Amino acid sequence: MAAQPIPTYRIDFDHCEQLFGAISALTVDPAKSLACYLFPFIGAFFSNQLEVRPYDRALSAMMPPDQVPHALGEIRLLKEAAHIHRDVIVHTSLNHTFASFGGTFSLTSPSISIPYQHLFSPSDDPLWNFSENEVRFLIARELARITGDDELLRIGIKVSFVASIFFLFAIPLGAIPGILLMIGSATLYLFSERGFQAQMDQKGVEILARHLNNLPLATAIARTALEKMRQQNLQRLRDNSLCRYYITQNGNNLLDLNRPFLTSRIEALA
């Protein structure tokens, strides 16, 4: 009789990042968000990002040095496809999610952060190892965010959230209006952020299509990347007993408040 696997009860680190990222984005002081937009290196510094530079001894201890110029060259080509005519600083980290700081009106160069496992593919498992084209799509999404300058609107929504807290605690007889304003601004942020993320998918496909000179291929790559994420969630659902409480049978992660369901994102790229 085969031994039964021991059930595990944990929330994976990347799912924690998605949940805490959504909460942090709404509650952190908007002044910090504005500073990270105007001076993207501040956001990279406080996120513990490591800049990717050729012949960097610190990086050489983590990854083969001959891969760094290739990775930077690929990102440069994607930047050109995104019609970005200024430097974009590349960072990496042990986080699980892509990130970007800055935009058109940043006073210093915008930056993107690529998770280590996506940039250098340390795993040989096809389920967890994204192909080069799939990683290109995920990078293109962040470049789309830099060109879109949606961060300024995001900051405005955060300001409304802070204002609702002010009305709640500082104005006499303002409890009910303050609570309603706070709930409304939080709801507005979540729905608007999901809309921004959906636009990033579409614009990421457009950038990748210009890079590959093939729109159907770029769309298929994007769908494959998102489908791989969905399959990863289903694998977690099978391996981790706690995941049944926040991962649906379709592979959607309920803790990822900032993004539409993966099934919806895949369908939108059909």
Model confidence at 170, pLDDT cuts 50, 70, 90, reads: low
Q: What's at 142, amino acid-wise?
A: E
Model confidence pLDDT, tens digit, residues 193-210: 899 899 999 999 999 999
> Is the backbone of residue 67 left (phi > 0), alpha (psi -120 to 50) or beta?
alpha
Q: What's at 176, amino acid-wise?
A: I
Instruction: Record the pTM.
Output: 0.83
Domain positions in the chain: 13-268
User: Taking a C-beta distance cutoff of 8 angstroms, is the pair 102, 109 a contact?
Assistant: yes
C-alpha–C-alpha distance, residues 73 and 119, integer Å: 12
| Average pLDDT value for residue range 134-148 | 93
Model confidence pLDDT, tens digit, residues 6-45: 555 566 767 776 666 666 655 556 778 888 889 999 888 8
- The helix, strand and coil proportions of the chain, stated in percent and rounded to the nearest 5, come to 60, 5, 30
Task: Kindly state the DSSP code that residue 7 receives in the 8-state scheme.
Answer: P
Place of tokens 């001076």: 39
Strand (E) positions, the chain? 50-51, 89-93, 99-101, 111-115
Model confidence pLDDT, tens digit, residues 228-247: 999 999 999 999 888 889 99
Helix (H, G, I), strand (E, B) or coil at 51: strand
- Confidence (pLDDT) at 93: 84
C-alpha–C-alpha distance, residues 147 and 102, integer Å: 9
User: Of 9 and 268, which is predicted with more confidence?
Assistant: 268
The mean pLDDT of the chain is 83
